[in-house]
Structure 1
Amino acid sequence: MPARARLCAYARLVLRITDARTGEPVDATPARRGLTRVEAHTRGFDPTNLRVLLVADLLVRALELGGTPVWALLVGERDLPELRAAGAALGVRPFEDSRDAGTGLGEAQVLHVVSEGGGTPDGVRVAVAPVRPKAPGVSDGTDPTVLRLALLAHPRSSPLRLDPAALDDAAGTLARWRGAVAAWAHRPSRPVPDAVRADLRTAWEDDLDTAGVLRVLRDVETAPDLPDGARFETYAYADRLLGLDLARDLGSPA
């Protein structure tokens, strides 16, 4: 798409999410930016439920980046302390416990994030495909941020098997990007190019396409004519959604 067309499309974008009840995309952002309630529905502590919590976290981040106020709730009965601890290690921000939340706050939209096939009350249902049993990385000492990147690299609607090769690839990418971000930080700052910002927002506003966001970052990493200061600002901007702590190594030697 030509840069001008991308910019025009970006100006009209709102977050669209597929409602699993109908299979159709719907606006995740209510009219007039009213309060949206995001509920993560979990049924225990396992890789699939951890993926549900991560997708809910991404949804909250994307809505907030678009200026929508969000009320985030965790709905579940089993293994909530373990799930919360694993989510925190994965960079998931705190969700209120639905059992302590009381009545609603007059929210304009309700989004339910559920495992595939899970039912919910009325509202948009955001389905998350399973992570295959006995996937590594939940309790075997794997760096939680590496696990987060490995989960983000696949569409949430696709079943996922996390094998050692996938985790090794994520670990290598994360180390390379953190080192690059630390090096780019030594260069003069430059704004995120408008076309790159549009590509990032086009990806994540389209059904939370985190794999698409990662593709944009790979293109930015190797673009021959992009100033390093712009690469730095691009990665810092995208990390507000991805939550990968890409600037962790700032201050280390270039």
Structure 2
Amino acid sequence: MQAANRASAIGCLPPPCPESAPETALGRSAAYAHPVLRITDARTGESLEAAPARRGLTRVEAHTAGAGTGALRVLLVADLLVRALELGGTPVWSVLTCERDRAELQAGAAALGIRPFEDSRDVGSGLGEAQVIHVVTEGTATPDGPTVAVAPVHGTAEGADPIALRLALLARDRAAPAALDPAVLDEARATLARWRGRVAAWARQPSRPIPDQARTRLRTAWEDDLDVPAVLDTLTWVETSPDLPDGARFETYAYADRLLGLELTRDLGTPA
């Protein structure tokens, strides 16, 4: 999917969904069909399966030269890849190769809700994993093996709410440079506050299943080369579609947040 077509997702309303999820050859809703996560290999430009061996251990290795927002974006993409693989039932081993400023990078990653990565210096030759996927900054040396490249970050996020920064970075396609400025961060912060407030309100209504078309759109997006902007577009559609019960909106947002890591259910139980 081209970066120009999905550069930014916050505030964008996606095209209408079909009335129902497509059916597979077995007659089962595509929303529940076995998903296959595919990524674009930066070495060749070809699309390949992120986990070719079903249930086989996959190692995701993030490579950074040091700390900084660009390095955090690399770790964020690696974190998303780990989450997407785990949601598909693939066991994952996440590893970090960092040349310097490791402690600073790890502290920044923790603030952004990025789960811990093991130190590559401590893991030896591996655990017999079926595949290794490398996540690197665009334009740096390409390791041997399937590689996901991440474009750089321009601007500063000093003093920004960490989860708002996470959303601002998620809203840009990873192949496009991310420009951070006060307006971008303010928009992300406002979107995050609105979604958390609505999720808390929807949680007070009777629970309803995730609509097939919403589940299909979410899975299709993140299985297609981690198209997170399309995931965010789907949440905007769920938020604004007049025909969805609030209980279904809540379940959809909670489900999507397993990938996004935006703490969308954080305000549950707060006064209306």
- Check if 1:108 corresponds to 2:125: no
Shift of 1:47: 1.3
- 3-state SS of paired residue (2:165): helix
Shift of 1:9: 7.6
- What residue is the counterpart of 1:91 in the other structure? 113
Q: Structure 2: give runs of 5+ residues left out of the alignment.
A: 1-16, 24-28
* Matched length: 250
Identity rate, percent: 70
- What residue is the counterpart of 2:5 in the other structure? none
The 1:231–1:4 alpha-carbon spacing in structure 2 relative to 1, beyond 3 Å, is: closer
Query: Considering only aligned residues, what root-mean-square deviation do their CA atoms show, in Å?
Result: 1.3
8 Å CA contact 1:30–1:36 kept in 2: the answer is no
Shift of 1:141: 1.8
- Structure showing the higher helix proportion among its residues: 1
- 3-state SS of paired residue (2:22): helix
Q: Answer with 117-126 or 229-238: which moved more.
A: 117-126
Deviation track 1:7-44 (CA, whole Å, cap 9, x = no partner) reads: 43862530000000001111001222200000000001
- What residue is the counterpart of 2:247 in the other structure? 229
- Check if 1:47 corresponds to 2:69: yes
Which residue of 76, 87, 91 corresponds with 1:69? Answer: 91
Deviation track 1:115-173 (CA, whole Å, cap 9, x = no partner) reads: 002224321010000001xx222xx2211000000000010000111111111110110
TM-score (norm 1): 0.95
- What residue is the counterpart of 1:5 in the other structure? 22
Shift of 1:4: 3.8
- What residue is the counterpart of 1:194 in the other structure? 212
CA distance in 2, matches of 1:88, 1:9: 32
8 Å CA contact 2:39–2:225 kept in 1: the answer is yes
2:102 partner letter: L
2:145 partner letter: G
Shift of 1:102: 1.6
1:159 partner letter: P
Larger RCO, structures 1/2 (Cα 8 Å, 6+ apart): 2
- What residue is the counterpart of 1:251 in the other structure? 269
2:231 partner letter: V
8 Å CA contact 1:40–1:113 kept in 2: the answer is yes
- 3-state SS of paired residue (2:199): helix
Q: Structure 1: give runs of 5+ residues left out of the alignment.
A: none
Deviation track 1:97-129 (CA, whole Å, cap 9, x = no partner) reads: 000112211100110000002224321010000
Equivalent runs, 1:1-254 vs 2, <5 Å: 2=18, 3-5=20-22, 7-8=29-30, 11-132=33-154, 135-137=155-157, 140-254=158-272
8 Å CA contact 2:203–2:247 kept in 1: the answer is yes
2:63 partner letter: H
